[in-house]
Structure 1
Amino acid sequence: MSSTVHNVHERALPVPASVVGRLVDRIGAADDPLWPVPAWMPMRFDRPLAVGADGGHGPIRYHVTGYEPGRRVELTFHARTGLIGGHALEVEERGPRTCLLRHRLAARPVGRMRLLWPALVRVCHDAVIEHLLDNAERAVTGAIAVPVRYPWRARLAVGMKSVRVRDVPAPTAATLLHDSIERPDLADAYSLRVPPGTTTDPHDWAAAVFRNPPRVVVALLRLRNRLVTTIGVERSDASDFDTIARTDNEVLLGTNAGHLTFRSSVLVQPDLGGTTITVATLVAARSRAGRAYLAAVRLVHPLVVRAMLRHAGRTAVAPWRSTGRA
């Protein structure tokens, strides 16, 4: 039989307990200042915070079994979560101008959670709660003395859940793209869905995808520039990704080179569950050299775009550490 896990995290804060209590009262709300999004799926309940409210974050489900406004929220796990017990977030007054924010978990892992807890869930839980305490410290002081750094297993878990690139049809909402090239020789689109809390400005995502590529893509572009002159193709540079047009939810980038016309759209579509970013590309060859070049590019283009979009998503979610300053 598995034993009960006792896990405690706490942070002394240099403000009255009532100030931190107001933050705790917003846990699970749309404007929750504590829960660490977008690195993790948001905590949500089926009603305002009160005894009986049901919800959780991602696959971890629980319901409110105790609530003292401004002081304490107690949550009991659903049996299907694999944890028998509960956890609580509480504020303890330590004086007129200081308090302690504490998270306590006491639960017995059952079923597959007996393996998952020591292998992965514990390290993710510790990262989430320390990040939550960082958010509380930043909210009341404007900075964090020692921001939490995510261990590699927590980073892996965030990446697996939050940064999945999919091959999709070019979205009809990408109107700038569809009006840019009538008869493309190459057309594809890839999408990424990230949790709530990331930017919804398409210009930000365009910069993240095309102005900050992963190192492997930078190396491939350098190799490309060394090879293409042998077939009469121009070298590429940052101007290949100049912004041509934009709307509130789409940015169109591209260039008109001698060998081809290139257009790429970054479309951002937010909803209540998160944000979908789609990078769609159209290319039309303009010469024999362009057609030869495009025949080779088809082989690596999907890998490059996926890598760039995945890297942008990981950078936006940023699970490596919490932000130190407001």
Structure 2
Amino acid sequence: MRRFSTIRNVHERTIEAPARAVGALLDRLSSPQDPIWPAPAWPPMRFDRPLGVGADGGHGFVRYRVTAYEPGRRVRFDFNPPMSGHHEFVIEPLGRDRCRVRHTLEVKRRGPMLVGWVLAVRWMHDTVLEELFDNVERATGTAPSPVRWSPWVRLLHRLMWDRADAGDLPTGARLARAAFEWTDYSDAYQMRMRPGMPRDPESWRGVLRGASFPVVGREGGEVLLGEDAGHLDFRASILVDDHQVTLGTVVRLHNRRGRLYWAAVKRVHPFMARTMLRRIHRRLAVTAPTAAERAQQAAASPTPHGS
């Protein structure tokens, strides 16, 4: 007979704002203009349809579906198998201009899953919820005392950050593709963009931290850096679109010295490229404006004529 332990975790905060105003924020949860979920520092909440009963999705590796939704008041998510349990947000009015936001998680776990909760998941879960409450306060005009990450949370965050995936040089990397008449080596590594991350490729030039390669071209969402030498020519392409950022490399070899040099370098190049892209991806996510700040900036921006 399997023994399960029920984990119950509750976070709540009193908000100095009407329940109706806070409920309107809750209704935008998981939308492209979500003002409260703490992305991009944490994986965004995404569903296969707008928030409502039947929507299926989750955040990161945690998968769930919406099983109850009372607009402006409550939303419940039931975890997908093999997990068993749910989590939900509830807004309780406390008067005309005050309310309480509560998040409750109940899940049955056993064995290694329980150990994982105790050692890692709980710490990140608690931080995500407190940051979400910070965003609720920001969005309703209150300046919160932002939650501080403990050293353990910082370590877990770094260790569990997304990895770069290898792929082909995208067709959109036109500058890289046209850099040389022939190419002796090329590769590309991609990572998914998260809400709030910069789309300007210039913001990503720090991926080559420690290297002073000059910019040799710019076009659309691509910036091309590189340098020519007697033994080889090197180009690094940074391509950014709404879905992913790509770090691509193209190399042209000139002579035996270049072939010997690149034979040694290419053994560590994939590891270094993945590591550099992952590092700046995380840094830009952690330092990006909060969801509430982005929503406020969007609301303050003038609407283009005719839109």
Q: CA 1:56 to 1:285, structure 2 compared with 1: closer, same or farther past 3 Å?
A: closer
1:93 maps to which residue? 93
Contact (CA 8 Å) 1:14, 1:97: kept in 2 or not? yes
Aligned pairs for 1:256-271 within 5 A: 256-257=228-229, 260-271=232-243
Task: Give the letter aligned to residue 243 of structure 1.
Answer: V
Give the Cα separation in 1 of the matches to 2:164 and 2:274: 6
Matches within 5 A, 1:219-258: 238=212, 240=213, 242-257=214-229
Q: Confirm whether residue 82 of structure 1 aligns to residue 80 of structure 2.
A: no
Query: Which residue does the alignment assign to 2:297?
Result: none
Instruction: Note closer, same or farther for the CA distance 1:11–1:301 as it changes in structure 2 (3 Å cut).
Output: same
Once the two structures are superposed, the pairs formed by residues 83-122 of structure 1 within 5 Å of their partners are: 83-84=84-85, 86-110=86-110, 112-122=112-122
**Percent of pairs with identical residues:** 44
Secondary structure (helix, strand or coil) at the match of 2:131 reads helix
Equivalent in the alignment of 2:25: 23
Give, in whole Å, the separation in 1 of the partners of 2:56 and 2:11: 24
- Is the alpha carbon distance of 1:43 and 1:300 closer, same or farther for their aligned partners in structure 2, counting shifts above 3 Å? closer
Helix, strand or coil: the match of 1:74?
strand
Aligned to 2:43: 41
* Cα distance between partner residues in 2 of 1:182 and 1:110: 59
Q: Deviations over 1:92-131 (max 9, x none)?
A: 2233333222212233324753333223322222122122
Q: What's the secondary structure of 1:280's corresponding residue?
A: strand
The residue that corresponds to 1:233 in the other structure is none
Gaps of 5+ in 2: 294-307
Shift of 1:281: 1.8
TM-score by length of structure 2 reads 0.79
Distance 2:220 2:291 in 1: 30
CA offset digits 1:131-164 (Å, max 9, x no partner): 211221222236432234155357535653x421
Shift of 1:52: 4.1
Tell me the CA shift for residue 263 of structure 1.
1.5
| Equivalent residue pairs, number | 291
Instruction: Give the letter for the 1:141 counterpart.
Output: G
Residues 270-285 of structure 1 correspond to what in structure 2 (within 5 A)? 270-271=242-243, 275=244, 277-285=245-253
Q: 1:171 and 1:63 mapped to 2: Cα distance?
A: 34
CA distance in 2, matches of 1:30, 1:47: 12
The answer for the alignment partner of 1:208 in structure 2 is 206
| Counterpart residue number, 1:56 | 58
1:278 CA displacement = 1.9
Conserved 8 A contact 1:2-1:109: yes
Partner of 1:13: 15
Measured at CA, do residues 188 and 108 of structure 1 come closer, stay the same or move farther in structure 2, by a change above 3 Å?
closer
Q: Which residue of 2 aligns with 1:73?
A: 75
- Is 1:306 matched up with 2:270? no
CA RMSD of aligned residues (A): 3.2
**Post-superposition shift, 1:24?**
0.7
Q: Which ranges in structure 1 are unaligned for 5 or more consecutive residues?
A: 219-236
Residue pair 1:138, 1:324 contacting (<8 A) in 2 also = no
Change (3 A) 1:305 1:46: closer
